Amino acid sequence: SQQGEEDPQALSIQEGENATMNCSYKTSINNLQWYRQNSGRGLVHLILIRSNEREKHSGRLRVTLDTSKKSSSLLITASRAADTASYFCATDPQGAQKLVFGQGTRLTINP
Amino acid sequence: DTGVSQNPRHKITKRGQNVTFRCDPISEHNRLYWYRQTLGQGPEFLTYFQNEAQLEKSRLLSDRFSAERPKGSFSTLEIQRTEQGDSAMYLCASRWLAGLTGELFFGEGSRLTVL
């Protein structure tokens, strides 16, 4: 079963704009991670935020985590055409030994 | 470090045939995971190994599915008597349990098409 729900399911923006994707989940977690997947390829880890962290940055990525609302957001600033991909949030639930993925957001950056 | 390797990348088979996928994880990783992903969906957990021990199997893993990880190195996922509903991307991932991060390293996947 998939724990996360991602919003929006699809997002299309112009190059240079910022892209924001949201993820909600249901259970207590150890950490939350974001992955990227280019069409037909495997997933690539982008960033991990632990349950005791509220915000984390990595290059053009900014992730927030609100454990009281059980939600996270991923912001990609100054988007580029190469950012076109699907983005998945994945939770590491407490007591579980596996990552549980959301259904993803398909991001299209128009040149 | 050559990353996680999966073979074959693509497999087309007829309904009722058996197929086997192989995954070679990053060598120092002791945990290996199999996920299934259908078009437009996120990966769904199937099973995972710690070294050679299979510690958890999803309800998605019917009796027709079997996974092994002999000697705690590579893993195989076999699907017997394939059905059209088995068509999906099968993803393998690995990680070091005691590592500083909990991130998974994924292979490129094995895409199965059942005709």
Q: What secondary structure, in 3-state letters, does B59-94 show? A: CCCCCCEEEECHHHCCEEEEECCCCHHHCEEEEEEE
B26 touches chain A (CB under 8 A): no
Query: What confidence score (pLDDT) does residue B101 get?
Result: 61
Chain B CB contacts of A90 below 8 Å: 104
Interface test with A, best of B45, B55, B60, B94 (most A CBs within 10 A): B45
B46 touches chain A (CB under 8 A): no
Query: What confidence score (pLDDT) does residue A97 get?
Result: 84
CA nearest to A6 within chain B: B42
B113 touches chain A (CB under 8 A): no
Q: What is the pLDDT of residues A46-99, one digit of tens each?
A: 999 999 999 999 999 999 999 999 999 999 999 999 999 999 999 988 888 899
Query: What confidence score (pLDDT) does residue A60 get?
Result: 98
Distance from C-alpha of A91 to C-alpha of B20, rounded to nearest angstrom:
29
Number of residues that make up chain A: 111
Averaged pLDDT score across all residues of chain A: 94
B104 touches chain A (CB under 8 A): yes
Query: What confidence score (pLDDT) does residue B81 get?
Result: 97
Q: What is the pLDDT of residues B77-96, one digit of tens each?
A: 999 999 999 999 999 999 98
CA nearest to A2 within chain B: B44
Q: Are B43 and B92 in contact (CB under 8 A)?
A: no
**Beta strands B10-13 and B110-114: pairing type?**
parallel
For A105, residues 6+ apart whose C-beta sits below 8 A from its C-beta are A6, A7, A8, A9, A10, A11, A21, A86, A87, A88
Query: What confidence score (pLDDT) does residue A2 get?
Result: 53
Per the CB < 8 Å rule, is A43 touching B44?
Answer: no
B38 touches chain A (CB under 8 A): no
Query: What confidence score (pLDDT) does residue B61 get?
Result: 87
In which residue ranges of chain B is pLDDT below 70? 1, 98-101
Question: Percentage of residues in chain A with pLDDT exceeding 70?
Answer: 96
Distance from C-alpha of A12 to C-alpha of B47, rounded to nearest angstrom:
34
Query: What confidence score (pLDDT) does residue B98 get?
Result: 67
Query: What confidence score (pLDDT) does residue B44 get?
Result: 96
Nearest by CB to A103, from B42, B105, B111: name it.
B42
Query: What confidence score (pLDDT) does residue A94 get?
Result: 83
